[in-house]
């Protein structure tokens, strides 16, 4: 089992230590031998008894207890390959006018980051019970679009989350000890219940409405529970960062990431710079290189000054250095997330996450641009396979084949693409 799988299992539940070995004071061995008269029978002098309810009871079937599938994915795993430049950036790089526009945008973005840092903006929060009313108010939507992040409190009751984590813990333990480090589940009943929970779907719909300006019931992205906040690598439209775009591939497309907290954090704190400019900066950063290195300055601020940075002249216009120096020491602590809270943030916003807390990614997918991906995701569910792009290994252990009957709410079936 991989280290990440072990940490996830420990985060969900603590396993009881094995019982201590019994101490024996005698020096005699803990066994005895006896002899019997030779028997004329050819039967062995012992017998085995198998309980009728044993999981290893004799069977006439030759099927294995566990099924594996060699999957050659047509969609690369998330984060497995280098992120391609956004088409708008590619077009701007083709002309002097476009390159000048990128340079001007870089300077404005760095100045906006400094402004956000000096104003001390914190991560906004809202309770789920008041989300519907506040989404109708322009101030909350404007704040979210400017900061790129929002915590929605108490979306799911503690009792429901506790039930899910217990079920998920049992499912993971049942898969422990297998070979090939395949301790992961995408379609356990606990995850299906979480993705189809009415409050989760309501929050997703309201937040997608705030981003897109249209009232629709979005699909939902199926993923496995993980330690820390899932960080996607996204090259965004630097002019319109919240734009919902269709893609030519079967990859999911959404500007909005959603993470449902399943446990509490036990130690370190996640941090983020609450500014949509941070997402624009992260997209532009690989294109720019410093004229002079940090060692050339006595003052770090001179190194970070936009005048010290220039658009790369390489053929690909991408630097191998993808660090984010302008964000160092600028992030603020994320509010403590409790089980049942949902963190919404722009997919391009860098989040430095704590790995002591378990989250379930439940990102909403706009319906009009994700039909192809959701069809593949639904097929994977019904075949017991990992969702497209969610599995880094070719060899996967199949889960139970799913059907619409396994999703208990109408909204959940719609979010999975059945209706």
Question: In angstroms, rounded to a whole number, what is the distance separating the alpha carbons of residues 44 and 47?
Answer: 8
294: phi then psi, degrees, rounded to nearest 5: -60, -35
Percent of the chain with pLDDT over 70: 73
53-110 pLDDT, tens per residue? Answer: 444 444 444 444 556 555 554 444 544 445 678 888 888 999 999 999 999 999 999 9
Token pair listed for 47: 């017998």
207: phi then psi, degrees, rounded to nearest 5: -70, -35
DSSP assignment string, 130-198: HHHHHHHSHHHHHHHHHH-EEEEE-SS-HHHHHHHHHHHHHHHHHHTT-GGG----SS-HHHHHHHT-H
What pLDDT score does 54 carry? 43
Q: Which of the pair, 273 or 201, is modelled with greater confidence?
A: 201
301: phi then psi, degrees, rounded to nearest 5: -65, -30
Proportion of the chain in helix, strand, coil states, percent, rounded to 5: 35, 10, 50
DSSP assignment string, 402-414: P-GGGS-SHHHHH
- Which residues, 6 or more positions from 264, have their beta carbon under 8 angstroms from its beta carbon? 336, 337, 338, 339, 357
Overall average pLDDT of the 303-327 stretch: 78
119-176 pLDDT, tens per residue? Answer: 888 999 999 999 999 998 888 999 999 999 999 999 999 999 999 999 999 988 887 6
Domain borders along the chain are 87-416
Q: Are 306 and 176 in contact (CB under 8 A)?
A: no
Nearest Cα residue to 106 out of 312, 313, 349: 312
How far from each other are the two terminal CA atoms of the chain, in whole angstroms? 38
- Which residues, 6 or more positions from 56, have their beta carbon under 8 angstroms from its beta carbon? 50
Question: In angstroms, rounded to a whole number, what is the distance separating the alpha carbons of residues 388 and 377?
Answer: 6
DSSP E strands: which ranges in 366-410? 395-397
Q: What fold, for 87-416?
A: Jelly Rolls (2.60.120)
Question: In angstroms, rounded to a whole number, what is the distance separating the alpha carbons of residues 369 and 302?
Answer: 43
414: phi then psi, degrees, rounded to nearest 5: -65, -40
pLDDT band, residue 23 (cuts 50/70/90): very low
CA 135 to the chain's CA centroid: 25
Q: Which runs of consecutive H residues, i.e. helices, occur in 46-137?
A: 87-92, 96-119, 128-136
Query: What is the value of pTM for the model shown?
Result: 0.81
Q: Are 321 and 289 in contact (CB under 8 A)?
A: yes
Q: Which of the pair, 394 or 310, is modelled with greater confidence?
A: 310
Q: Are 239 and 251 in contact (CB under 8 A)?
A: no
What pLDDT score does 321 carry? 64
Looking at every residue in the chain, the average pLDDT score rounds to 81
Q: What's the DSSP call for residue 295? A: G
What pLDDT score does 180 carry? 42
């Amino acid at each position: 089992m991989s280290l990440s799988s072990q940490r996830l299992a420990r985060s969900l539940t603590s396993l009881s230590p094995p019982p201590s070995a019994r101490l024996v004071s005698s020096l005699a061995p803990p066994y005895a031998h006896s002899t019997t008269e030779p028997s004329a029978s050819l039967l062995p002098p012992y017998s085995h008894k198998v309980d009728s309810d044993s999981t290893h009871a004799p069977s006439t079937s030759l099927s294995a207890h566990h099924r594996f599938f060699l999957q050659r994915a047509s969609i690369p795993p998330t984060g497995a390959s280098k992120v391609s430049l956004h088409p708008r950036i590619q077009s701007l790089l083709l002309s002097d006018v476009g390159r000048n526009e990128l340079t001007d945008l870089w300077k404005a973005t760095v100045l906006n980051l400094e402004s956000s840092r000096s104003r001390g903006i914190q991560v906004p929060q809202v309770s789920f019970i008041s989300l519907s009313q506040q989404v109708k108010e322009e101030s909350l939507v404007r704040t979210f679009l400017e900061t790129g992040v929002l915590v929605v409190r108490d979306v799911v009751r503690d009792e429901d989350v506790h039930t899910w984590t217990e079920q998920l813990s049992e499912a993971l333990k049942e898969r422990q000890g297998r070979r090939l480090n395949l301790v992961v589940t995408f379609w356990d009943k606990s995850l299906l219940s979480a993705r189809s929970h009415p409050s989760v779907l309501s929050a997703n719909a309201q937040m997608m409405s705030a981003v897109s300006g249209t009232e629709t019931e979005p699909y939902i992205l199926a993923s496995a529970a993980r330690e820390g906040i899932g960080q996607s690598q996204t090259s965004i439209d630097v002019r319109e960062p919240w734009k919902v775009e269709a893609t030519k591939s079967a990859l999911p497309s959404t500007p909005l990431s959603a993470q449902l907290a399943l446990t509490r954090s036990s130690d370190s704190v996640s941090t983020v710079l609450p500014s949509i400019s941070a997402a624009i900066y992260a997209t532009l950063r690989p294109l720019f290189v410093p004229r002079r290195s940090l060692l050339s300055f006595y003052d770090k601020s001179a190194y970070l000054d936009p005048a010290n940075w220039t658009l790369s002249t390489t053929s690909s216009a991408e630097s191998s250095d993808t660090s984010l120096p302008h964000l160092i020491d600028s992030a603020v602590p994320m509010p403590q997330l409790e089980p049942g809270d949902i963190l919404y943030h722009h997919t391009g916003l860098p989040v430095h996450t704590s790995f002591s807390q378990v989250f379930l990614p439940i990102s909403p997918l706009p319906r009009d641009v994700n039909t192809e991906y959701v069809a593949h995701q639904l097929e994977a569910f019904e075949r017991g396979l990992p969702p497209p792009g969610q599995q880094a290994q070719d060899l996967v252990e199949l889960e139970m084949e799913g059907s619409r009957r396994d999703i208990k709410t109408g909204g959940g079936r719609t979010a999975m693409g059945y209706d």
